[in-house]
Structure 1
Amino acid sequence: MAGTSAREIKPLRFGVVAPVTVGLPAWRDQLRVLADTGYSTILMPDVPQWQPAPGPALAMAATITGLRVGTWVYASPVRPAWITAWEAHSLSVLTEGRFEMGIGTGRPGIAGQLRELGLPATPAGRRLSQVREVVAALRDLDGPDRHTPVVMAVGGPKAQALAAEVADSVTFVMPQVETRAETMQRVEQFENRRGVELALHVPVVGDSVAAFMAGPDTDAAAVRAADSLAFLPSDPSAAAEEIQRRREEIGFSYFVVGAEAAGALAPVVAELAGR
């Protein structure tokens, strides 16, 4: 299970991707509700067209809620490695250790985004090297007395190998209609020698699709029919049972959903968080 001798059952925690897609008063109210329902972490995407920059937004979210905050996830080619590391370290300092840096090589279509920003196209292999450079710079800035947690979004074997070496948590980039069996095989092949936390990105809850976590053409019925782990039922009892099954059978202990589904899953979070 989970490809490691360090396999252990970790406590459950729950994060919410909550970009500023509504007015600021409504967003602040949304964050306060999340804080009252047991979610551990407020997360922000790294897409300029969607919302304010993740750093300032997360600093505000941390002040409003007292929760952990994190990026889901920084795109390594968008800014110089040292700048990303500096921002991450600064957030860790300003939140008194409540920030976790999510990082990956960029969403599908990242080449188009780089063109829009006037940045050079970066080959996939170089984007992964940039992730390593960001983490190395972050560790230098943190020094011996601070450790900013790193969550890596990984796809292929090279990214998985890097995450096994440097990450504290890992989330797997996978097709949204990938079957449960295929995802289990993917996780089993991950050489998790250090026992890093396994995080699951869940964009579809019931009939709700988190637009900022899924592709524009995502079909909720197709995701559900595939027995994909990108889906959770909206019924709290069924969702709680499925979450515990995924932890026991595969090792996932950190579940990330969109803000639209957070209310439906609030009873589940209240029951399971920290267990």
Structure 2
Amino acid sequence: MTRPFRFGVVAPVLTDLSTWRDQARRIADAGYSTLLMPDVPQWQPSPVPTLAMAAVETDLRVGTWVYASPLRPAWMPAWEAHSMSVLTEGRFEMGIGTGRPGIEDELRELGMPVTSPRDRLAQVRETVERLRDLDGADLHTPVVMAVRGPRARALAGDVADTVTFAMLPGDTRADIERLARDFRAVRDVELALHVPVVGDDVAPFMASPRDTHPAELREADSLAILPDDPAAAAEEIQRRREEIGYSYVVLGAGCAERLAPMVAALAGT
């Protein structure tokens, strides 16, 4: 099954509110489908109220990219996600994972218990189960899971509507293609491609600029980078759908306007 392309933008509030609202409207006007917010306490406003504002300002879908499961008890993101689905009339997507690299240090700084990866994954399952209970028979909040290891992939096969594979700096195209092929042999779901680098620009909320080197990514033929020329980027995105199955592409806000011609050409096709 070839799914139509859609494009999301991770757009945290890094400016004054008026400028951010204007940015959200431009993202909508350019043909992007989804505005996404990272889950990094103290760096920015909390994701859900910010996404609620974006949903009022535009007709975009909105979502978390992604909730870190150890930061909240399972019932809380489930309640928030269900509430957002109701209030946006079905335009919310709950992205969830076990936390960014370094989540253990973040938990210590917040005075929270540092749980094991297995426990954090169990909390993801509980969150989705609680969300399904709240949604009931008449609502289905889409769940996007960020996964890497075999346990996370197995859980995503059970509960996710969309899957993105957490990429490591040394991952080649072949490494991720193998993950995608093995996963889709179990279940055919929408695959989301997280692209933190366009040209030489690194999206700060999607990767660590200090540890991300565009030249090395190009050398490794990494899927974490796209050319900054819209026509070349469009050609590469089409190749990634054909060869791997990626149809949902998530970019940083800093390159959203630059790659708008690519989105205009491919969205919905």
- Asked whether the two chains share a fold, i.e. TM above 0.5, the reply is yes
- In the other structure, the counterpart of 1:80 is 73
SS at match of 1:32: helix
Mapped to 1, the partners of 2:240 and 2:20 lie a distance apart of: 31
Kindly indicate whether the alpha-carbon contact (under 8 Å) linking 1:168 and 1:197 is maintained by their aligned counterparts in 2: yes
Mapped to 1, the partners of 2:219 and 2:22 lie a distance apart of: 35
- In the other structure, the counterpart of 2:107 is 114
With 82-91 and 185-194 compared, the bigger mean Cα shift is at: 185-194
> Residue 164 of structure 2: which of 164, 171, 178 is its match?
171
Deviation per residue, 1:115-155 (Å, 9 max, x gap):
11111111000000000000000000000000000000001
The reply to whether residue 265 of structure 1 matches residue 259 of structure 2 is: yes
Deviation per residue, 1:38-85 (Å, 9 max, x gap):
000000000012210001000001111110000000000000000110
SS at match of 2:42: coil
Mapped to 2, the partners of 1:260 and 1:177 lie a distance apart of: 24
Corresponding letter in the other structure for 2:57: I
> Residue 234 of structure 1: which of 221, 228, 239 is its match?
228
Matches within 5 A, 1:239-254: 239-254=233-248
Mapped to 1, the partners of 2:170 and 2:4 lie a distance apart of: 27
Kindly indicate whether the alpha-carbon contact (under 8 Å) linking 1:45 and 1:54 is maintained by their aligned counterparts in 2: yes
State the Cα RMSD in Å: 0.9
Corresponding letter in the other structure for 1:86: W
- In the other structure, the counterpart of 2:91 is 98
Mapped to 2, the partners of 1:257 and 1:209 lie a distance apart of: 10
TM-score normalised by L of structure 2: 0.98
Kindly indicate whether the alpha-carbon contact (under 8 Å) linking 1:161 and 1:191 is maintained by their aligned counterparts in 2: no
With 78-87 and 215-224 compared, the bigger mean Cα shift is at: 215-224
Corresponding letter in the other structure for 1:166: V
What's the CA shift for 1:221?
A: 1.5
SS at match of 1:264: coil
What's the CA shift for 1:191?
A: 4.4
- In the other structure, the counterpart of 2:129 is 136
The reply to whether residue 14 of structure 1 matches residue 7 of structure 2 is: yes
Which 4+ stretches in 1 moved above 2 angstroms? 191-194
- In the other structure, the counterpart of 2:16 is 23
Greater relative contact order (CA < 8 Å, ≥ 6 in sequence): 1
- In the other structure, the counterpart of 1:4 is none
Deviation per residue, 1:155-207 (Å, 9 max, x gap):
10000000011000000012133111111112112145442100000000011
Name structure 2 gaps, 5 residues minimum: none
Corresponding letter in the other structure for 1:150: V
Corresponding letter in the other structure for 1:22: T
Mapped to 1, the partners of 2:260 and 2:109 lie a distance apart of: 38
- In the other structure, the counterpart of 1:3 is none
Corresponding letter in the other structure for 1:100: E
Kindly indicate whether the alpha-carbon contact (under 8 Å) linking 1:69 and 1:98 is maintained by their aligned counterparts in 2: yes
